[in-house]
Amino acid sequence: IRIQLLTNPFSKSGMLMLPAVVSALVTIMWIFLVTKTVDFMDGLDGLAAGIGAIGAGILAIMAHSARQPHVALMAAAMCGACIGFLRYNFNPAKIFMGTGGSQLIGFVLAAVAIIGYSAFGGFVSVVAVDSFQAILMILTLVVTPIVMLFKVMAGPVSIGAALSAAGGGMDSLTGTASGFAAGVLIFNNFAWFFGYLGGQPQLNARFMGMRDDRQVRIGRNIAVVWTLLAYSGAITIGLCALALFGPRALADAEMVLPSTLTRLFPWWLAGILLAGAVAAMVSTAESMLIVAGTSISQDVYKGLIKKGQAPDARLLAISRVSTFVVGVLGLGLALTTERLIYYIVSYAWAGIGCSFAPAVLLSFYWDRFTSLGVVTALMTGLVTTMLWIAAGFDQRVTAMAVTFFVSMGAAVIVTLLAPRHERPAHV
């Protein structure tokens, strides 16, 4: 076995072919590092069996999904062997696996990972990484709240009592608002719904990659169930943290998840669970960067500037530069802004999600809708969002709802006024 390819997001193929000598060195280094890492974990109170079971189980699922029965069988066998040893490995460990046992686990994990990844290749390897990230997110947003609920039930303070003690209307869905103000508050929070109506270009790209309608239906069902579980889990984590630690335990409310994980779980497990939250951020960020780079190179440069005539090498260079610039701008925004992440995301949701959603909906359900209407929806939505937030109106009525309806109305009016020979929009 050898590592012959490495993922390279800056190349046209997405992969980097390694020369024979470099491939051999990288393979040896990979096997050595994984083997010694598992051996080191065994010294930390006998953690090799648990880590080995988790790693082998994940590799087995990925290999089975990629229709690699031999790889899946090897990984599943290793997972079963490690699970059988777990009864002796619970903290404090009664029996350590020793160098021979732990290094064997590490060696097998490294080899199975190489075999599986080499067979995945290209686009499928990216999907496999996304699947692994999804598993981490499930562990964090489904398993963690369940553990926290048991902690709360065993403790002296209930969630209801903690909400009442926190004050400030925390025990009410509308806070201290009532009447018309409460209605506006509910509507503003409901407005996140509009961005889900086809307004996420990075998710649209994933749906476009599906083979047939059956996969679309399956993906839709999984997305709905996952959204319900993830959002319920995130809310439960916040409520349980309030009951367990009190309303003033943290100076920064956005540090609730990492602080909770480090307090309730061993350091190694807290790191794995925290990686679930990071996985969600990485998955979204990389998807948005790819969409941005592709849009600038394909839609703007090739489609508008060069009228469909542009060499592939130049498009690739523009895509790379665009991706880098957008990433740097995002980093600068993250380092300089003093607003909460919630507000930054809501602004992007309004300017992008609630601008794209009308264009996508009208393209699907209105045969007369034109490409001019699409451009109108996107530009009107962006300008409306910027003006609404700059004027301070967003403090009363969220820009997400205003952008959606203004963008939808402008697109419909322009389409109705456009000549009949205007090119129809296609999705």
Instruction: Give the pLDDT means over successive 10-residue stretches in the chain (427 positions).
Output: 54 59 64 61 59 77 74 78 68 52 59 52 54 75 86 82 77 76 85 83 74 82 85 88 79 78 79 73 71 80 81 80 79 69 76 87 87 89 89 85 91 85 56
Pairing of strands 5-7, 15-17: antiparallel
Q: Tokens standing for 346?
A: 């809501």
123 and 8 in contact (C-beta within 8 Å)? no
Q: Which residues contact 275 (CB under 8 A, 6 or more apart)?
A: 136, 140
In the numeric block, the tokens 């939250």 are attached to 277
Placement of tokens 């996420």 in the chain: 200
Instruction: Kindly report whether the peptide bond that precedes residue 92 is cis, defined as omega within 30 degrees of 0.
Output: yes
Q: What are phi and psi of 247, to 5 degrees?
A: -75, -15
- Side chain identity, residue 109: L
CB 373 within 8 A of CB 359: yes
Q: Which residues have C-beta within 8 Å of that of residue 166, sequence separation ≥ 6?
A: 242, 247
Instruction: Give residue for tokens 């060195």.
Output: 25
What does the H/E/C string look like for 37-55?
A: HHHHHHHCCCCHHHHHHHH
Q: Are 388 and 403 in contact (CB under 8 A)?
A: yes
> Which residues lie closer than 8 Å to 239 by C-beta, 6 or more apart?
159, 162, 163
The per-residue pLDDT for 422 is 57
Q: Give the DSSP letter of residue 1.
A: -
The confidence score (pLDDT) of residue 4 equals 59
Six token digits for residue 232: 């319920």
Six-digit token string for 287: 């998807």
**pLDDT value at residue 19:** 67
The tokens describing 23, both together, are 């491939």
Q: What is the pLDDT of residue 408?
A: 92
Beta-bridged to residue 16, according to DSSP, are 6
Q: Which residue has the tokens 């951020």?
A: 281
Q: How far apart are CA 261 and CA 237, in angstroms?
A: 10
Residues in the chain: 427
pLDDT score of 309: 81
**DSSP 3-state assignment of 370?**
strand
Cβ neighbours of 97 (radius 10 Å): 25
